[in-house]
A and B are shown apart, each in its own frame.
Chain A
Amino acid sequence: MASSAEQHHGGGHGHGQHAGMWVFPVREEITRDVAGKTFAMPSPYKLALGIAAILTILGVVGFFIRASSDGFGSPGPWGYYAGIFSFVFMVTGAAPLVAAAFRFTKSHWRRPLSRVAELFAMVGIVNIVLFIPLLLAMPPIKNPDVQGSDLEIRRTLWFEVPIGAPYTWDILCFVGLAFCSVMILWLSATPDMAQARATATGFRRSLYGALAGWWFGTKRQWNHQKAGLALLGAFYFMLLIFVQFIFITEFAMSMVPFWKDSVLPPMYTVMSFQTGLSLILIVMFIMRRWGGYENYIGKAPFWSASKILLGLTLLWTYHLFAFFITYWYGRLEVEQNILKYLFTQPYLVVFLGNMLFSFFIPFALLIWNPLRRSDWGPPLAGLVALVGSLLFNLRTFAAAFNTGNHFEFALSHVPAAVWPDIWDICIILGGLGIVALVYLLSAKLFPPMSIWEVKEGTLYQKMDTLMKGEYLVLAKPE
């Protein structure tokens, strides 16, 4: 194990192409330093908070004007709202899973990103509120006005419509997911809050006392925390993919007559993993460059995560092709209309943008070794992937919500594209703004760096020499 005397303060370690790859924070100073950074309010933070607040206000204005002018009687006007909600849910829902997944692998490079990822649990609470208007705008399952060959009951995954379906079960999905992720955040942040209590003042001191006053760091407590995080992490994964399946099926596939596709839910899930990891890399880059965390975040997390990001990018493209080729090869007229509607006719430009940003550009960036080893390359590829994901969600949900008659047996014609109006654009900006706002506030409430995990890393990592080179030596306690 590396003693504190052997640790080096700040700076990066590694030579040649690995320069700056690893950092070794001083264990004795981590708690005080991170607490100080958490409680500070630097100007760039205030500026970001102000911009996020303005965007959120724009979104609220757009929402109320949309609600007052169009109401919730028809899903059509809410297509772009559904799109931005889906984007927010897709990206922020997967983020806490990234922390859990990498913790399972016991990799050392993941330590700085754990809390960055877990803090998105707070956005999960907002997701519940944002989801409610979608329930109001969703067309009823039973057709109120059967005409011609229309279906009496809309195609739905609720089949015989059990008690509470769809509203209660839908909202329970999001409540359960938010509850699980917030519990993961609480359990993970408890040791850090308990340790930061000594330097905290005012509201934070009371909050840390209430949430973590019971924590002293006994062996029994560490064991329970470890087991609890493992269990909740596993359940979060199992629930997340289920909720994504429910959401994309209920609010996209069920809305387009005859759209029956088993590839769409996994494609949505893979894209959520891709974009969730992307967002975490972007936040880490900002923290490293401008947040004062360069002594905690080396280049290693970017380098390691970039390979996973490349894999997820390829996997998404594979799913998209599998979806497309099945419909294209089937050549049923009703399926051709769906292909034309979603891909090749009214929304062609958006689809091409989606492909460009979700696959071609990230792929071209991430296959380049020097870029993968940099701290800016993977976040840049991630930013591009996020734009692609936004286009995917806006296209899919704007199209699904504007098919016209949701009770049709099959899509008999290709509807025209519906482009966003000024209030839709406000809603889209507001959706992005509220995520940033909640995250920025959360990062001042909880330490954005997992102090106990970074400290644990100092026990098991040190630089040592072999022949004339300096190398990272890792210990594996389990």
Chain B
Amino acid sequence: MARRPILGVFDSANSAADAGDGLRRAGIPETDVDFLTDTPYPEGAFGEREEPHRLYIFPFIGALLGLTSGILLTSMTQVAYPMVTGGKPILSIPPMAVVCYEGTMLGAILFTVLGIIFESRLPKLKAGLYDTRITEGYIGVLVNTEETQHGEVETAFGQAGAVDIKRE
């Protein structure tokens, strides 16, 4: 049986939280439930699961790559064109700092953006189930589950006071 989305639309955050409780009682796994909101609600407002992210890894990798490129570029330049400036050693850190810092920053920024794109699974070509009333403060509870469970989901939505239930 195919998994299909079903969306419950609620006019208050409390009702949406009640729907979350109802779904949990009905045995719907938390990973199948998403709360759609027009603004970020505080952590745990709907009793939802925690959503950890790994975004911080990406800039770290980018910064390391950028720094390595900067070090290689400047040190290789200095070795290839040995020019004593102000009596300083051929390989000295201060002149390398400018390029290394710039490389580190550019690498970190680029990889952060790549991380956002990757973690958000972009590009998304197929539009999902949505209701424009969510932009007016309504809360959407989106459940991606087996079609056989849609009856239980609808019951949970109805008991919590959904103003509308939408299917794909």
Contact = CB atoms under 8 A, between A and B. Distances in A.
Interface string B105-135: 1101110110110011011100110101011
B83 A160 contact: yes
B85 A214 contact: no
Given A27-B137, A231-B112, A235-B108, A223 B95 contact: no
A226 B127 contact: no
A85 B137 CA distance: 44
Nearest to B88: A159
Given A221-B120, A232-B112, A477-B43, A246 B98 contact: yes
Nearest to A196: B135
A183 B113 contact: yes
B120 A176 contact: no
A472 interface: no
B34 A232 contact: no
B155 interface: no
Contacts of A223: 51, 53
A242 B102 contact: yes
A214 B123 contact: yes
Contact of B130 (A169, A216, A225): A216
B36 interface: yes
B55 A224 contact: yes
Interface of A: 1, 4, 27-29, 31-32, 157-165, 169, 172-173, 176, 179-180, 183, 187, 191, 195, 198, 213-214, 216-228, 231-232, 235, 238-239, 242, 246, 452-453, 455-456, 459, 477-478
A160 B36 CA distance: 55
A459 B94 CA distance: 50
18 contacts: A159-B98, A160-B81, A162-B95, A162-B96, A162-B99, A169-B99, A176-B105, A179-B109, A191-B38, A216-B140, A216-B142, A218-B35, A219-B48, A231-B59, A239-B105, A452-B38, A455-B38, A456-B40
Interface of B: 13, 34-43, 48, 51, 53, 55-56, 59, 73-74, 77-78, 81, 83, 85, 94-96, 98-99, 101-102, 105-106, 108-110, 112-113, 115-116, 119-120, 122-124, 127-128, 130, 132, 134-137, 140, 142
Given A231-B55, A231-B56, A242-B102, A459 B38 contact: no
B85 A160 contact: yes
A435 B137 CA distance: 35
A244 B4 CA distance: 53
Contacts of B35: 218-219
A159 B77 contact: no
Contacts of B74: 162
A456 B13 CA distance: 13
A315 B168 CA distance: 59
Nearest to B80: A163
A407 to B, nearest CB: 16
A160 B95 contact: yes
Nearest to B70: A162
A213 B102 CA distance: 33
A237 B141 CA distance: 38
B56 A227 contact: yes
Contact of B124 (A28, A162, A214): A214
- Identify the 8 closest CB pairs spanning chains A and B, nearest first: A159-B95, A477-B42, A455-B39, A195-B135, A214-B124, A222-B40, A456-B39, A162-B77
A226 B40 contact: yes
Contacts of A224: 53, 55, 116, 119-120
A32 B38 CA distance: 13
A172 B102 contact: yes
Contacts of B105: 176, 235, 238-239, 242
A235 B51 contact: no
Contacts of A453: 39
A191 B36 CA distance: 11
Given A172-B102, A242-B101, A227 B137 contact: no
Contacts of A478: 42-43
B39 A219 contact: no
Contacts of B106: 172, 176, 239
Contact of A180 (B109, B123, B128): B109
A217 B134 contact: yes
Contacts of B95: 158-160, 162
Contacts of A195: 38, 135
Contact of A227 (B55, B81, B102, B109): B55
Contacts of A176: 102, 105-106, 109
B105 to A, nearest CB: 5
B36 A217 contact: yes
Contacts of B101: 242
A242 B78 CA distance: 23
A420 to B, nearest CB: 32
Contacts of A242: 101-102, 105
